[in-house]
């Protein structure tokens, strides 16, 4: 760097174990993260004891809680901060890049994905459901729907050898499945009927007793998630429906038709995403440009948040109690759904070049989420870096329809190229 380059005084702070002295350092104003990382490493090298050697560590830097993604001078100028004062910069070890792990091939578009423990569910436009293990083995291909599968959710994967899940389809039905993991056998327990349009989203409550469905018919419906037959079922199996083929033969069980416990109206276009905020509050997003909160105990709409663009998906984080939404205007927005005053949209994240089709929060870090787009790219974001994602994950040759981060070590994306992409992520590596 030129000798006459202006300098600025900075202090470094950290919550990591790589601590440098809390004294001002003079640095050129045009430095970026690469130069600052080299500086921290050189300081650490100088203070190291023993052999005097330290490994080179890649660091990230934050100023007032926002990641530095441009030169220091441009960042301070954009925030209206003086270069005459000492600037405090927080640093931490940079999160490692996700690594491409596997590609799971389907026969048609991969429209929905959900991970859970050691297994992955995927729904396909060829009307089938797949169960995979995390090593990429296709454990089972399940027919049953008569149109593309648009939504899929685990109900229970914790208790004993029997797991359960639900699938929603363009055929206007929701199927409730029981999977015996030890025998690798699956049975369709119930066919849930009541929608007059494609079932595009599903959400199971935390107690696993109920689930909700959202449809292109604009209706929100509440159903029992119990595997046993209850009073809301009728014996009405459609003989024309294709029975699921199993890798191992099971005893025939009568598929009963289950009817909804509750139907709620309010949205004026199709419902595209939903999640429970707690065991009584449901959040939905729609093509009608709105986010709505519902009190499912009192069967009524609690509040409405208006936007100017179509919502294609949403994800709620139990860690920070905030919602991210995917929109047709290429933007991702961070919302506080319970805010009663001030700005409800906390931040806007802009980087995609096509419709943002899907979003999913990390289960272990309240700052991290992923997004998938019609631009064929999955991105990993940190809420403190609104203009630049942490990483771009390429590989899809067609638009991405669904992403999922339910398994902390795996980022999943499904697309119109018939591929389910698996990226390995280890935050401590």
Encode pLDDT of 153-210 as tens digits.
Answer: 999 998 689 999 999 999 999 999 999 999 999 999 999 999 999 999 999 999 999 9
Report the C-alpha gap between 154 and 179 in whole angstroms: 11
pLDDT band at 227 (very low <50, low <70, confident <90, very high): confident
* C-alpha–C-alpha distance, residues 314 and 324, integer Å: 6
Residue 35, classed as helix, strand or coil, is: helix
Among 383, 339, 379, CA closest to 359: 379
User: Domains of the chain by range and CATH?
Assistant: 7-93 (3.10.20.90), 99-424 (2.130.10.10)
In this prediction, residue 123 carries a pLDDT of: 98
**Residues 293/323, Cβ–Cβ less than 8 Å:** no
Q: Distance between CA 294 and CA 276 in Å, rounded?
A: 9
CA atoms within 13 A on the CB side of 251: 2
Residue 38 pLDDT more than 50? yes
Burial of 123 (0-12, 13-18, 19+ CB in 10 A): buried
- Do strands 110-116 and 119-124 pair parallel, antiparallel, or not at all (unpaired)? antiparallel
Contact of 164 with 153, CB cutoff 8 Å: no
Q: How confident is the model at residue 246 (pLDDT cuts 50, 70, 90)?
A: very low
pTM score, whole prediction: 0.89
Show the beta-strand stretches assigned E in 216-352.
220-224, 233-234, 256-258, 262-264, 271-276, 281-286, 290-295, 300-306, 311-316, 323-327, 331-335, 345-350
d(CA 343, CA 106): 43
Count of residues in the chain = 429
Res. 271: pLDDT tops 90: yes
* 198 and 216 Cβ atoms separated by less than 8 Å: yes
> What is the rounded average pLDDT for all residues in the chain?
90
pLDDT at 344 over 60: yes
Long-range contacts of 243-246 (CB under 8 A, 24+ apart): 243/143, 243/144, 243/188, 244/142, 244/143, 244/144, 244/177, 244/186, 244/187, 244/188, 245/141, 245/142, 245/143, 246/140, 246/142, 246/184, 246/185, 246/186
Contact 340, 320 (CB under 8 A): no
| 62 has pLDDT over 70 | yes
pLDDT, position 387: 85
Strands 185-192 and 256-258: parallel
DSSP code per residue over 1-29? --TT--EEEEEEEESSS----SS-EEEET
- DSSP label at 242? P
Nearest to 175 by CA among 217, 219, 123, 251: 123
- What's the pLDDT at 235? 45
Per-residue confidence (pLDDT) for residue 52, from 0 to 100:
47
Specify which residues 362 forms β-bridges with.
Answer: none
Residue-level pLDDT at 95: 86
For residue 248, is pLDDT > 80?
no
- Which string of DSSP letters, residue by residue, matches 106-171? -SS-EEEEEEETTEEEEEETTS-EEEEETTS-EEEEE---SS-EEEEEEEE-SSTTEEEEEEEETT
Query: Above 60 in pLDDT, residue 321?
Result: yes
Secondary structure (3-state) at 77:
helix
Give dist(CA 57, CA 51) in Å, integer.
17
Share of the chain above pLDDT 90, in %: 79
Q: Which of the pair, 146 or 245, is modelled with greater confidence?
A: 146
At residue 250, the pLDDT reads: 37
DSSP one-letter code for 45: H
**Confidence at 341, pLDDT banded by 50, 70, 90:** low
| pLDDT (tens digit per residue) in 350-402 | 999 999 999 999 999 999 999 999 999 999 999 999 889 999 999 999 999 99
Give the separation between CA 45 and CA 40, rounded to whole angstroms: 9
Position 253 scores a pLDDT of: 52
CB distance 18 to 57 below 8 Å: yes
Say how many C-beta atoms besides its own lie within 10 A of residue 118's C-beta. 12
Q: How much of the chain exceeds pLDDT 70, in percent?
A: 89
pLDDT-based confidence at residue 340 (cuts at 50, 70, 90): low
Q: Is residue 336's pLDDT more than 80?
A: yes
**Structure confidence at residue 48 (pLDDT):** 56
């Amino acid at each position: 760097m030129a000798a006459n380059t202006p300098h600025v005084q900075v202090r470094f702070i950290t919550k990591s174990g790589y601590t440098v002295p809390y004294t001002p350092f003079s640095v050129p104003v045009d430095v970026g993260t690469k130069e600052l990382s080299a500086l921290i490493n050189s300081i650490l090298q100088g203070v190291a004891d023993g052999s005097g050697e330290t490994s080179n560590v890649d660091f990230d830097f934050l100023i007032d809680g926002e990641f530095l993604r441009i030169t220091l001078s441009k960042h301070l100028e954009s925030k209206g901060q003086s270069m005459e004062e000492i600037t405090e910069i927080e640093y931490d070890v940079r999160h490692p890049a996700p690594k491409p792990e596997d590609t799971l091939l389907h026969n048609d578009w991969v429209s929905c994905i959900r991970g859970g423990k050691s297994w992955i569910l995927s729904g396909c436009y060829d009307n089938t459901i797949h169960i995979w293990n995390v090593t990429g083995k296709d454990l089972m291909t399940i027919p049953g729907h008569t149109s593309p599968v648009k939504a899929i959710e685990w109900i229970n994967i914790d208790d004993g050898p029997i797991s359960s899940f639900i699938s929603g389809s363009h055929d206007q039905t929701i199927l409730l499945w029981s999977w015996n993991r030890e025998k690798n056998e699956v049975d369709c327990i119930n066919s849930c009927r009541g929608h007059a349009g494609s079932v595009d989203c599903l959400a199971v409550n935390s107690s696993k007793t109920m689930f909700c469905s959202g449809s292109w018919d604009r209706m929100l419906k509440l159903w029992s998630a119990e595997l046993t037959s209850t009073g809301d079922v009728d014996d009405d199996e459609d003989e024309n429906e294709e029975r699921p083929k199993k890798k191992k033969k099971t005893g025939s069980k009568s598929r009963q038709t289950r009817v909804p416990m509750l139907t709620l109206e309010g949205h004026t276009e199709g419902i595209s995403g939903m999640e429970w905020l707690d065991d009584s509050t449901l959040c939905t997003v729609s093509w009608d440009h709105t986010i709505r909160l519902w009190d499912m105990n009192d069967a009524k709409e609690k509040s409405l948040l208006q936007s100017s663009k179509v919502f294609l998906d949403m994800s709620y984080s139990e860690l920070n109690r905030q919602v991210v939404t995917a929109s047709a205007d290429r933007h991702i927005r961070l919302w506080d759904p319970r805010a009663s005053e001030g700005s409800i949209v906390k931040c806007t994240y802009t980087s995609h070049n096509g419709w943002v089709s899907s979003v999913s929060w990390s289960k272990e870090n309240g700052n991290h989420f992923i997004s998938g787009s019609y631009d064929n790219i999955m991105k990993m974001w940190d809420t403190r870096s609104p203009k630049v994602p942490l990483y771009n994950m390429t590989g899809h040759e067609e638009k991405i329809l669904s992403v999922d981060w339910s398994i902390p070590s795996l980022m999943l994306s499904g697309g119109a190229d018939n591929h389910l992409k698996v990226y390995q992520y280890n935050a401590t590596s």
